[in-house]
Each structure stands twice: as structure tokens, then as C-alpha cells.
Amino acid sequence: MDEAKIAAAYRQRIGPKAAELEALRGRLRQRVRLISAGVAVATAAIAVVLIAYGANLYSVGISAPVFGFVAYCVVYQLIASRFAEQAKVVVLPAIAEVLGDIGPLSVKNGRTWMARARRSGCLPRGAVAVFDAFVGRHRGTDFVMVETRLTVGAERKTRTVFRGPVFAISVPVPVSGRTVVSARFGGVGNSLTKYDIDPEDIHAVPFPDTPAFAELFEVNAESEAEARGLLSPDLRATLTGFMDQFGKGKVRAAFHDDAFFLAIDDRVERFEPVKFSKPVGDLQASTQRLATEMGLAFRIIDDLHDGPSAAR
């Protein structure tokens, strides 16, 4: 990643827009206050009418504030989402242009790739929500980057089982089987059952030559020889670094269907340049952070090119 070009993109295209974004944030926050005030007045009026017609005072006193609070949360979230999209329009295209061949990917195609990631054993089962998706190319290799959330449960009783970025990268060599790299949590059966994987189909592959990697990850594969060829020393070192960077247990990967999948479950709003709740301020730090995170795929592609191709 060319930091000088990122800095230039910030000075020329992103920084000058900071004041406009802050002005937009101010207008939208004022809109939230006005709509919330209107909802409060309407709720109070309805409560008065209900009490006048004989409704239980205690029930109305409890339900009216709850209704008002829920309405406020809905309004706030909708307007905050609008501001987030405007901020992304300012920041993300400039970063993508500097990084190279990166562009937006449709939500539909993002969901398709998430289905492939789940089949690979990289993602758990769950209902998929796609927030941002990009498609790109580096060193002649295609890649997809999707920020997604997976939930389980029904109606209001849902639980998030994954939230973060997922990378899908074409592998420069054929992949005939499935190799899963998961955080080391204990028994193989326990770690695989929620990932659409039958533990009887794959077996453990040890990597004693890289103890730092072996301490953090367990590798299970259909073919031990293929797993060792795909997981080059450079790629193992990169995955170990990702675990240190994003947190123990947050990183999972898989090779399947001629692609490498990487999932980082760090529960962070990955591609949100600024928060609606805070002043815009200086966008330089967030620009650098987003450029670094969007460039993660480049590091993986370099390892895939320099590792498996040499090993084969």
C-alpha cells in the first residue's frame, strides 16, 4: 500500500469534505430532535385520549414511554444510516482508487459469496445480512470483500454468531478438497459441528514446524498433502499476525472450491468512516485505517502467489 498516495487522496478529496459532512451531521441531528419531539407530542396526546376513554392509567403510563423510546431509536437508526452512507461516498471511492482495481459489489452477489464461504467451513450457519461489499483484483487474482453479520434464532430472539469482514480470494493453484483453519478451542468435533462440516470427512493436520501458528490454530483437511502445500510458511505467519491484530479466536479461514476464504469475527463497524454520534473532526486517521483494512486482501494474495505456487 502506497501511504504517500493515501495521504494525497486525503488532502485532495477527503479532507476538504470534512466540513460538509459535519454540517450534514448537524442538520440530520436536528431532524432527529424535531421528529422525536413530534413523536413525543403525538404519544402524549394519544395517552390522554386513551385515559379519557377509560384506559388503565398505570398501563398507559408504562406503555407510552416505551413506545416513544422505541420510535426514537428507529428514527435515530434510520437517519444515522443515511449519514453513514454519505460518509462512505466521500471516503471509500477515493481509497479504492488509490489501492487499485477495487469497486462496489451488489448485495445479491455478496450473499452468493457468503453462501460459498459457509460451504467452505469458514462461516457458521445463520441468516446473512450484507452491509458493504467490494470486488477487486491484485496480481491478476480476483477477490471479494464483504462486511456481513450472521444471526441465529427467530423473530426477536436472535443472536449474532458472526459480525465482521469476509474475504474470498481466487487461489492461483487448483484446490481439490477442503482445508479448514480454525481457532484452537478444544475438540475437533465441537469446533466443526456448527460449520456444516462432518468431522469424519476431514482429519487434523499438525504443523509442528511453526509453533506460534499451531498454538493459535487447528487445521483440518481432506488431504494432508494439499493442506501443507496451500498453507505456506508466509500464509501461516500472516494468519498468526491477524490473530494477534484482531484478537484470539477471531480469525478463521478455509480453502475450498478453488478459493481461499478468510473471516474475521471482531464485531466492529468495519467500513464506517465516522460515527453519527460524534463530531466528524479529522478524517485522516480513519482514512488510513480503512486503507489498511481494505488492503488486507493484497497481503493474502501475495502469500498465496509466493507460497503455494512455489510449493507445487
pLDDT, tens digit, 9 for 90 and up, residues 70-80: 888 888 889 98
pLDDT band at 158 (very low <50, low <70, confident <90, very high): confident
Q: What are the grid coordinates assigned to 269, written together?
A: 463497524
What does the pLDDT look like over 209-242, one tens digit per residue? 999 999 999 999 999 999 999 999 989 999 999 9
What whole-number distance in Å separates Cα of residue 120 and Cα of residue 114? 10
Q: Are 289 and 274 in contact (CB under 8 A)?
A: no
In this predicted structure, what is the pLDDT of residue 226? 93
Neighbour tally for 157: CB within 10 Å: 7
Residue 189: its pLDDT value, please?
42
> Would you say 132 and 150 are in contact if contact means Cβ atoms under 8 Å apart?
no
pLDDT at position 306 over 80: no
The pLDDT > 90 percentage for the chain reads 28
Could you state, in order of their start, the residue ranges of all structural domains in the chain? 3-99, 102-271
Residue 124 has pLDDT above 80, yes or no: yes
User: Which residues are bridge partners to 261 per DSSP?
Assistant: 168, 254
Residues 258-264, mean pLDDT to the nearest whole number: 93
Predicted pLDDT at 190: 43
Residue 273 pLDDT level (bands cut at 50, 70, 90): confident
Q: What is the pLDDT of residue 4?
A: 81
**Dihedral over Cα of 178, 251, 126, 220: its sign:** positive
187: pLDDT confidence band, cut at 50, 70 and 90?
very low
* pLDDT score at 126: 87
Pairing between β-strand 101-104 and β-strand 127-138 as defined by DSSP bridges? antiparallel
C-alpha cell at 279: 463530531
Q: Which residue has the higher pLDDT, 290 or 123?
A: 123
Contact partners, residue 174, CB within 8 Å, separation at least 6 = 258
- 148-157 — which CB contacts under 8 Å span 24+ positions? 148/110, 148/114, 150/123, 150/124, 150/125, 150/126, 151/126, 151/127, 152/125, 152/126, 152/127
